[in-house]
Structure formats: C-alpha cells, structure tokens
C-alpha cells in the first residue's frame, strides 16, 4: 500500500457527473448537517450515462483522486452510472494502491437494500441511464438480497439532458417521460415500485408521478442513501472521526462556476457559490 495522503479529518466528498448528485447531497446534509461537505460535479464531461465503461471508470477515478487530494477521507459517488461502472474496480483495485484507509461508497447498494422492504408484489422496475441499465448492477445487488424478485429495467437516455438543459418542467419533457413509463409498465403488470436509478430524476418527479399509477411507489434515492450513510458512519467510528465537523459546504465544477451556481439552486433549493477546478491540478 502507498499512502500519499494524510490522516487528517477532511470533508465528505460527494461526486457526480453533473448536478444530479446535489439531490443526494441535499438529503445527506439535511440528515447530518454537522459535517463538512465538498461537492464535485464533472459538468465539463457530463453526461456520463451514454459513455463507455472505460471512460466512465477513468473519469470517476480521476474525480475520486482529486477529492482525496483535497483532504476527503470518504467519498460518496452520488451517480448511478459511475457507481455501476467504476465503484467496484475503484474499491477492489485502486483503493488498496492509493490509500486503503480511505473509503468510496456508491448509491446502488443502499437503494437496493431499501427496495426489498418496499415491494409487496416482488415485481419492481429500475429506470436509469444506458450505462446503469446495461451494467445490470441493480439486478446483481437486489437479487443478492432477494433472489426471487422480478426486475424490469428501462434506459431513459433523454431524461438527463432534459434536466441538465432545464427542460424538466416544460411541456416537451412529457413526451419522453410518458414514453418510458408506459414502456416499463408494459413489461410487467405487477410492478408496485419503481427505482429512479439516476440522481437527476428527482427533478422530473412531478412529471413521472403524472404518468405512473398511484399504487406504484416511486423511489428517489437521496433519502435512502443519506440514512444508509448515517448508519455506516455509526458502525465505522474511525472513519467517522476522520470526517471533519465544521458545517462548511464547498461546491466545485469542472465547467463554468456561474452556470453551475444558477442551475444548482434548482437541485438544492438554495443559492450557492461554486468554484471551477481542473481535475489534473490541485486547486
Ligand atoms: N446522475 C447520473 C446518474 O445517477 C447520470 C448523469 C449522467 O448521465 O451523467 O446516473
């Protein structure tokens, strides 16, 4: 093991390809306001969801290393596409080489643990980006806890661009939302819960609700990821002591800070200031 980084307490790093992870950060900081948080959105290279495994892995590893270089001891990959394509390799192959005292967690496992307590019919659906759906990560995680569950999946490649371009509450979004909800519900008439397996989708929630029968529960991830993290920290006291508690929030983006500030407020319901960073340099 090579340890290039110090064991000083640092902020909890939260990473997403763009803005979506803010829906997760929002719930995490509501539940645990005492910690410092450092958010990184790789907006310059978003969306990730239509990219290849290799690129998503390389970009995510770069982001994780950058967050470590900023003092984070714990990083949450608040992006399903990156969790699906990169998390396992980073945890198993990269962390032992970088610094095995640090931890990187994703969003797919906590969501999978939740769904099995919610579905009664044991027929569920997962909506996500093409990367997440093609990875079959949800099937793997959920069937580990509950082998007899029936999972229908649907990639919704237009949903992230609708959100990133602030079209999520406009009329044009209805077409793409209805199309995918109808399609997935046709796959199995007994579905009683749908995982919104992309951290951008909570912004489309109103439209998704409009086209989903009321008896079907829609699962946005933020709340469950936050509860799971709280539980994880209570079980890992050493790591918890390395999460600094100063209630600071720092927002970084690889694209324009101004643009990030204006769109981020829709995800967080608050005004923030952001800083543009380059993942190659320590800034
Ligand atoms: N928010 C990301 C996720 O949860 C998707 C965004 C993207 O495609 O970059 O999958």
Tens-place pLDDT, residues 95-124: 999 999 999 999 999 999 999 999 999 999
Question: Per CATH, is 12-106+223-276 categorized as 3.40.50.1860?
Answer: yes
Residues of the chain with CATH 3.40.50.1860: 12-106+223-276, 109-221
Please give the positions annotated as active site: 79, 198
Ligand 1 proximity of 162 Cβ (cutoff 6 Å): no
Task: Give distance in angstroms: CA of 198 to centre of ligand 1.
Answer: 6
Question: Per CATH, is 109-221 categorized as 3.40.190.10?
Answer: no
Q: State the pTM of this model.
A: 0.94
Q: Tokens 């999972």, residue?
A: 151
H helical segments located in the chain: 21-31, 53-69, 80-82, 88-89, 95-98, 108-118, 130-135, 137-145, 159-164, 171-187, 205-211, 222-235, 237-241, 257-268
Q: How far apart are CA 176 and CA 80, in angstroms?
A: 20
Quick check: 283 pLDDT over 80?
A: no
Where b means 16+ CB within 10 Å and e means fewer, 61-95 reads bebbbbbbebbbbbbbbbbbbbbbbbbbebeeebb
Question: 146 with 119: CB under 8 angstroms?
Answer: no
Q: What is the pLDDT of residues 217-269, one digit of tens each?
A: 999 999 999 999 999 999 999 999 999 999 999 999 999 999 999 999 889 98
Ligand 1 proximity of 57 Cβ (cutoff 6 Å): no
């Amino acid at each position: 093991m090579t340890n290039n980084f110090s064991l000083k307490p640092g902020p909890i790093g939260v990473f997403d390809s763009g803005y979506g992870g803010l829906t997760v950060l929002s719930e995490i900081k509501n539940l645990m306001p005492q910690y410092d948080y450092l958010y990184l959105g790789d907006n310059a290279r978003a969306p990730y969801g239509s990219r290849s495994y290799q690129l998503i892995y390389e970009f995510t590893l770069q982001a994780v290393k950058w967050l470590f270089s900023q003092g984070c001891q714990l990083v949450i990959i608040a992006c399903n596409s990156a969790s699906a394509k990169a998390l396992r390799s980073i945890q198993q192959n990269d962390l032992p080489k970088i610094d095995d005292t640090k931890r990187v967690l994703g969003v797919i496992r906590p969501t999978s643990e939740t769904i099995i307590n919610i579905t009664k019919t044991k027929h569920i659906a997962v909506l996500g980006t093409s990367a997440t759906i093609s990875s079959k990560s949800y099937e793997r995680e959920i069937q580990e806890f509950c082998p007899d569950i029936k999972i229908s999946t649907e990639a919704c490649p237009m949903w992230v661009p609708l959100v990133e371009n602030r079209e999520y509450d406009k009329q044009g979004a209805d077409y793409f939302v209805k199309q995918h909800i109808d399609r997935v519900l046709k796959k199995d008439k007994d579905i009683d819960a749908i995982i919104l397996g992309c951290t951008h989708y909570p912004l489309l929630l109103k439209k998704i609700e409009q086209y989903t029968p009321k008896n079907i529960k829609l699962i946005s991830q933020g709340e469950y990821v936050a509860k799971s993290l709280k539980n994880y920290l209570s079980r890992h006291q050493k790591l918890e002591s390395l999460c600094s508690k100063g209630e600071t929030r720092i927002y970084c983006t690889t694209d324009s800070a101004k643009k990030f500030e204006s769109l981020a407020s829709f995800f967080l319901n608050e005004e923030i200031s952001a800083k543009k960073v380059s993942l190659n340099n320590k800034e």
